[in-house]
Structure 1
Amino acid sequence: MKTRLSLLENMSPMKLCVPGERLCSTEDCIPGTGTYLRHGYIFASLAGYVLRKNEGEELPVISVVRETEAQLLPDVGAIVTCKVTSINPRFAKVHILYVGSTPLKDRFRGTIRREDVRATEKDKVETYKSFRPGDIVLAKVISLGDVQSNYLLTTAENELGVVVAHSEAGAQMVPISWCEMQCPRTHAKEFRKVARVQPEYLQA
């Protein structure tokens, strides 16, 4: 299983700062924890990592956190585990729970668009035949998204897709093909974009 260190090595490094260091102008960011304002600029009030995060405001919030508080962030190319919250004909909305095998402290939102569900016959994809609310999905980050902080995700690779799903009867379903799962209790079949899970992505 991937370690936190190897995951961090695959990410863009976070900027380190020292107390009193000027971070940016108030025209670019809103000051957050670990910062202070002076003459229209935001400065670091402690030594640590500089984090920028969109929180629904027009400008991102800039904060400084100590090393023990710095958390792993989803980055382009990262494999993430997420939970489907809603679906419509154009996309599925998810909450990202893990980056690799590392759980996230904060909740990050993601979107899997219809054209990013699988690699072939994209025009024939039907979202409700690929995911259902409550499904646990393995996906890859393809874009850091927009001002609403929605990450764009894909499940086009064979190893990506639904890894845990429950039937209408409440039982955890068993994959029977790349596009179907079956309820062990009722034997009813349901469509899903099923992942061929690799051992290193299995959560303990």
Structure 2
Amino acid sequence: MGENSEWVTPGEVLGKASKFKAGRGAYVSPDKLTVYASLTGSRRILSPPPNSPDQRPTVEVTGHKAHGAIPEPGSVVIARVTKVMERMASADILCLGTKSVREKFSGIIRLQDVRATEIDKVDMLSSFRPGDIVRAHVLSLGDARAYYLSTAKNELGVISAQSAASGETMVPISWTEMQCPRTGQIEQRKVAKVGG
């Protein structure tokens, strides 16, 4: 680690945007006032090139290889739903693409990001249940150190769920339903399309 490095975690303030440019592992808040860390690692300040018109130093966060993959906007993740509320569901991100993540990343699926059509008819409690495994798309680094996730594409949504009645892994039977193979009971879900 460099001499002026300091350990930071996602969402931590790195400095004012008027004083620093955001480098790797950093991003500027929507109001363009603050630079935040987007990953866990050491904070470094890089001097601007002498001929650069922008003389603000760059602040960056360099993660360690051991930390593995970091979710970024645009990436597809596999997450486990931990809590479902009326307007959103919380989830723990388990995998980024096919790689498991080594750190704990949280995600939030908001009501408006559950599906692409009939958004006004979405019911969170019939889309997800705690324990469901979902495939989702990372929209952005949201607030409170959680990523905003979307399941608003056909191939995104619940890929594995256990029956409330029997604990068996259910089988998807439509876009919105999964069935328990043992009891035949049907439960509502926002189901991910399997295959092509």
Name the TM-score, length of structure 1 as normaliser.
0.68
- Tell me what 1:129 maps to: 126
**Offset, 1:69:** 1.9
Q: Report 1:55-94 matches (<5 A).
A: 62-63=41-42, 68-94=65-91
Contact (CA 8 Å) 1:52, 1:63: kept in 2 or not? Answer: no
Secondary structure of 1:128's aligned partner: helix
> For residue 127 of structure 2, what is the amino acid of its counterpart?
S
Check if 1:142 corresponds to 2:139.
Answer: yes
> Which runs of no fewer than 5 residues in structure 2 stay unpaired?
9-23, 28-35, 44-61
Contact (CA 8 Å) 1:160, 1:197: kept in 2 or not? Answer: no
Q: Report 1:28-39 matches (<5 A).
A: 31-32=6-7
- Tell me what 2:13 maps to: none
Check if 1:180 corresponds to 2:177.
Answer: yes
How far, CA to CA, are the matches of 2:152 and 2:81 in structure 1? 16
Check if 1:160 corresponds to 2:139.
Answer: no
Secondary structure of 2:74's aligned partner: coil
Secondary structure of 1:32's aligned partner: strand
> For residue 32 of structure 1, what is the amino acid of its counterpart?
W
> For residue 95 of structure 1, what is the amino acid of its counterpart?
D
How far, CA to CA, are the matches of 2:154 and 2:188 in structure 1? 16
Contact (CA 8 Å) 2:161, 2:169: kept in 1 or not? Answer: yes
Secondary structure of 1:110's aligned partner: strand
**Offset, 1:84:** 0.2
Most deviating of 168-177 and 69-78: 69-78
Of 135, 147, 164, which residue of structure 2 is paired with 1:151?
A: 147
Name the TM-score, length of structure 2 as normaliser.
0.70
- Tell me what 1:12 maps to: none
Secondary structure of 1:115's aligned partner: helix
> For residue 143 of structure 1, what is the amino acid of its counterpart?
S
- Tell me what 2:15 maps to: none
**Offset, 1:72:** 1.2
> In the comparison of the two structures, how many residue pairs are matched?
153
Check if 1:171 corresponds to 2:168.
Answer: yes
**Structure 1 vs Structure 2 CA RMSD:** 2.6
How far, CA to CA, are the matches of 2:83 and 2:67 in structure 1? 30
Check if 1:104 corresponds to 2:101.
Answer: yes
Contact (CA 8 Å) 2:109, 2:148: kept in 1 or not? Answer: yes
**Offset, 1:78:** 0.2
Distance 1:71 1:166, change over 3 A: same
**Offset, 1:19:** 3.8
**Offset, 1:68:** 3.8
Secondary structure of 2:120's aligned partner: helix
> For residue 137 of structure 1, what is the amino acid of its counterpart?
V
- CA deviation digits over 1:63-96, x for unaligned, max 9? 1767642421000000000000000110000000
Contact (CA 8 Å) 1:144, 1:150: kept in 2 or not? Answer: yes
Contact (CA 8 Å) 1:52, 1:62: kept in 2 or not? Answer: no
